[in-house]
Chain A
Amino acid sequence: MSVTAAVIDRPEPSDETRRRRRVDGIVAFVIHASATLTLFTIALIFIFIGREALPVFFTSAVHEEVTLETMLLPQQYGTSEVPLSYVWQPVSDVPKYSLAPLFVGTIKVVIVAMLFAVPTALLAAVYTSEFAPLWVREAAKPVVELLAGIPSVVLGFFALIVFASWFQSIFEVDFRLNATTAGIVLGLAVIPIIYTLSEDALHSVPKTVKDAAFALGASTWQVALRVSLPAALPGIFAGVILGLGRAAGETMIVLMASGNAAVTSWSFTEPVRTLPATLAAELAEVVFGSPHYHVLFLVGTLLFVVTFLLNWLGAFFVRGLTLRLSGQRS
């Protein structure tokens, strides 16, 4: 059966060919359908969450209890004994919905997690890809990736029972559960993400590029710092951003280890309450359709948007790296 003959006189396809085409068609349909379904589901989830958040902006019944202004601007809360300006206290005679303590809390925990995770993961990645002998790399990479498989509730439990006590006895802080404890353990959950992506990026720097540097007399250090690292930077950046998304959205570790006190201070040794932990703690119990319910959905929407943007940004940088290393873009 020659190709040219088929092109010229186009004979009727055999039964076998027709059957194969039919199977092809069905398989393609199934694949398209599952892809569409996935996208559709995500879109529907977003629409649902967003729709439940809308009454915060448009419903007057909700506005009697909470408005954008009371969520964002300082208020005269507290008593004469204890004046306060930003309070998250939804179960109260006068419900208070300042988002500031939750945002500050989330940012503090994320900062600690990233300060701990980025240097650790990055140095580990540089070591395994540039310096370590092959057997070390083959052993180290799966082990670090295994860290990603630890359920976050187990990490949270470790933070609550073991790590918080160590931390308190070493640094003698007042609060056993605080932003730093939660942040460091959260960092453990983020390390595998940054490590894996950075290591892959460093490893995919073409050998020819490195060999050229070696041929010019560069040392291993010089190659690692001046050649591999700059070339792999977009990939590393993608890892950091995806790690950031994970840290901002992680729930269980912070719920267990952060103390969940909605304070607005920049002290890193005080307990914090983060956005995801607030959702986890309150959404299951909230009265359906109440202002509190809608505010929690607004918080959920914000969280969704933030992590979505971070993931999108991460993917964008990974694509940049691929183009750059394959020589399609400088």
Chain B
Amino acid sequence: MLRSVWGIALSVVFLTAIELVGSQKRSITVKGSDTMVILGQRWAEIFMELDPSVTIQVTGGGSGTGIAALVNGTTDVAEASRAMKPKEIDSVISRRGEEPLELPVAVDGIAVYVHERNRVRELSLEQLRSIYIGAITNWKDVGGSDERIIVYGRENNSGTHVYFKERVLGNSDYHPIMQTLPGTAAVIHAVAQDPQGIGFGGIAYAHGVKHALVSAGEGSSGVAPTLDNVLEARYPISRHLFWYLVGESEDVGGFAGWVLSPEGQSVVEKIGYYPLAESDRQRSIEKLRRRRPAAP
């Protein structure tokens, strides 16, 4: 009896001690785009090694989830693979009393996948639009064999879905026959299994399928989604990946500053996305510095 009382007392003391030590660790939460979750985790791991007094939690859920969490104040950083909508910015201002700080942190190209055996090598933006709104339904209309085109895309909550719709479809709706799959990996798997399939998603993921060359218009030639082409804006479907901050603490600002440093940017390439162009990087650093004069 006495022993168990001692045991309980000891564990209470012990837990309190842990609690005290733990409270000295500052924590940062990062939440948002599924496209960026691996990137965010890698950044967090390395930054925590550099500064062991900080704990960083990174979770996905989608750009919309991250932005909603930013509005509600349940995350320090929202990762988004699309720019925030005016409506969302308004709700951040009304709920948090401050405009969110938008920082481009990396560049992503959206690749168009076709099956490895597909004869079609190149598609123009106009052809892609026609395929995705359902005006073209046969591969022979874009230079392939006489087979139906099976269209794959992403669920309507993903930043990729929204970006492709804006950039390629000119904001028209996808045709209802498009199969929506959860995650880029699922799209690639589906296209790899389907000789008539076409899909789109992050470049970082592509395995087992062929990247179609994409041309901006009739006259121009097809461009592959390679590093140089994306960085020099020759590849027509590329986008910035963003971090959004509101009322950021010293630590969050420091983390963001590190992400924009050459060291942070070198991580981007290892994950398979593209680092910011130097001018964009300087602009992001400038934005951060203006908001937080103490930033590096």
Contact = CB atoms under 8 A, between A and B. Distances in A.
Contact of B155 (A81, A89, A281, A287): A281
Interface string A262-302: 11100000110100000001101111100000000000000
B156 A282 contact: yes
Main secondary structure on chain B at its contact with chain A? loop
A271 B177 contact: yes
Contacts of B134: 81-82
Given A176-B150, A255-B182, A261-B180, A165 B193 contact: yes
B146 to A, nearest CB: 13
B196 A260 contact: no
B193 A91 contact: no
Nearest to A96: B173
A320 interface: no
B157 A282 contact: yes
Given A93-B171, A287-B64, A174 B150 contact: yes
Contacts of A165: 193
Contacts of A177: 179, 190
A92 interface: yes
Given A260-B155, A287-B64, A288-B68, A176 B176 contact: no
A101 interface: yes
Size bracket, chain A contacts: 35 or more
Given A177-B190, A285-B65, A263 B156 contact: no
Contacts of B65: 284-285
Contacts of A281: 155-157, 180, 182
Contacts of B150: 174-176
A91 B181 contact: no
Interface residues of B, number: 32
Nearest to B161: A91
Interface in A239-265: 255, 259-264
B89 interface: no
A86 to B, nearest CB: 8
A284 B61 contact: yes
Nearest to B147: A174
Contacts of B46: none
B99 interface: no
Contacts of B194: 176
A295 B196 CA distance: 35
A271 B179 contact: yes
A84 B156 contact: no
A278 to B, nearest CB: 10
Nearest to B137: A82
B148 interface: yes
Interface in A151-185: 164-165, 174-177
A90 B161 CA distance: 13
Contact of B176 (A87, A164, A286): A87
B47 interface: no
A116 interface: no
Nearest to A175: B150
A205 B177 CA distance: 49
B162 interface: yes
Nearest to A261: B179
Nearest to A89: B173
Interface in A26-83: 77-79, 81-82
A97 interface: no
B193 A285 contact: no
Contacts of B224: none
Interface string B179-206: 1111000000010011010000000000
B25 interface: no
B196 A82 contact: no
9 contacts: A84-B176, A92-B173, A165-B193, A175-B150, A176-B193, A259-B180, A260-B155, A263-B177, A284-B61
Given A176-B194, A285-B157, 6 more contacts: A79-B133, A84-B176, A87-B176, A174-B148, A273-B180, A288-B68
* Closest 5 pairs between A and B when the two form their complex, measured CB to CB: A285-B157, A259-B179, A91-B156, A81-B135, A285-B64
Interface of A: 77-79, 81-82, 84, 87-93, 96, 101, 164-165, 174-177, 255, 259-264, 270-271, 273, 281-282, 284-288
